[in-house]
Amino acid sequence: MKRILITGGAGFLGSHLSEKLLKEGNEVLCVDNFYTGSRKNIHNLLDHKNFELLRHDVTHPLFVEVDQIYNLACPASPIHYQFDPVQTTKTSVLGAINMLGLAKRLKIPILQASTSEVYGDPAVHPQPENYRGNVNPIGPRACYDEGKRCAETLFFDYYRQHQIDIKVIRIFNTYGPKMNPLDGRVVSNFIVQALKGENISIYGDGTQTRSFCYVDDLIDGMVKMMNSSQGFTGPVNIGNPREFTMLDLARKIIDLTGSESRIVFQELPEDDPLQRRPVIDLASEKLNWKPTIELTNGLVKTIEYFRDTLQAEKEIQTLA
């Protein structure tokens, strides 16, 4: 049994990671300031004897005793990270400094949940880990993109200077149950709009592409990276290499929900990447990892979650 700290533990990914680590017999210390995380995500874990919740902001130091650290804390959707861009950058940078300091004191492994956004609007496609990216450092997305890039810098500087056992993964688009219906991400947007019978909004002409990894696959890769041999630092791409256009995704969700929603087109936001697909050869070689859940199967589970969530909200509104 290990005692494992997860920052951002009440978020979409953090809550799924908490569940997996508890099922494996570990103790989990979930740390979250609930800026974007939700108690609803971890409600089923609150009575678990090996689960502990601590309300804390990682921009401030934390003094606890643990065996591993997963650093997931940071708003990850454009709506949330652009709402308070200064705080977003502080969360990535100061959060990394504080968690690395804790790992240094305790001499324990620490994993950084980085992002495919470090590649920006890529000029190389698909994206291998040695591609250095095409990021606008002064654009509206820079608080997240450059914050995560700086966090990676800090991780590797601590590794070289203090011999910290670091693990860095770059997460590509991930979806599944417990996503926030209002987080502005494409999968949740399309599903909610389809279930409500609203127009489905596509930004740009719909030919831009993304690769979608189901959350269970992502969490499996994350845990494998943490438990990989010491000295293997990454960064490692964790994502699904199958690529879909926004039009493909919208039509698939309309079909799976049985919706009569229409597709409408809106202006593409500034610096929105036109292509995004990971090269996962390194994850396959070093971690024996690859995604196993096809998009259709994952979407069915995600749609079921959102249908239940929207129905519950409707019932609450009716009672009120």
pLDDT digit string, tens, across residues 182-208? 888 899 999 999 999 999 999 889 999
Residue 76 — pLDDT band, cuts 50, 70, 90?
Answer: confident
pLDDT at position 269, please? Answer: 81
* Domains of the chain, CATH where assigned: 3-173+213-241+277-293 (3.40.50.720)
Is 35 among the catalytic positions? no
315: CB partners within 8 A, 6+ apart: none
pLDDT at 171: 98
Is the pLDDT reported for residue 216 higher than 90?
yes
User: Given a cut of 80, is residue 317 above it in pLDDT?
Assistant: no
User: Counting beta carbons within 10 angstroms of the beta carbon of residue 16, is it exposed (0 to 12), middle (13 to 18) or buried (19 or more)?
Assistant: buried
Summarised one tens digit per residue, pLDDT across range 25-41 is 999 999 999 999 999 99
Q: What pLDDT sits at residue 156?
A: 98
% of the chain beyond a pLDDT of 90: 89
Whether 173 shows a pLDDT value over 70: the answer reads yes
pLDDT value at residue 289: 98
Please list, in sequence order, all residues whose beta carbon lies within 8 angstroms of the beta carbon of residue 62, skipping any fewer than 6 positions away: 31, 56, 98, 99, 102
Residue that has been written with the tokens 């290990």 in this structure = 2
SS3 (DSSP) at 312: helix
Contact between residue 183 and residue 36 where contact means Cβ atoms under 8 Å apart:
yes
pLDDT at 148: 97
Catalytic residue from among 35, 119, 144, 159: 144
CA distances from 16 to 30, 43, 48, 178 (A): 12, 12, 14, 8
pTM value? 0.94
Which range, of 83-87, 89-93, 110-114, 217-221, averages the lowest pLDDT?
A: 83-87
Residue 320 has pLDDT above 70, yes or no: no
- Segment 247-293, tens digit of pLDDT: 999 999 999 999 999 999 998 888 778 889 999 999 999 999 999 99
For the chain, percent of residues with pLDDT exceeding 70: 99
Instruction: Residue 129: count other Cβ atoms within 10 Å of its Cβ.
Output: 18
Per-residue pLDDT at 235 = 98
C-alpha 103/C-alpha 96 separation (Å) is: 10
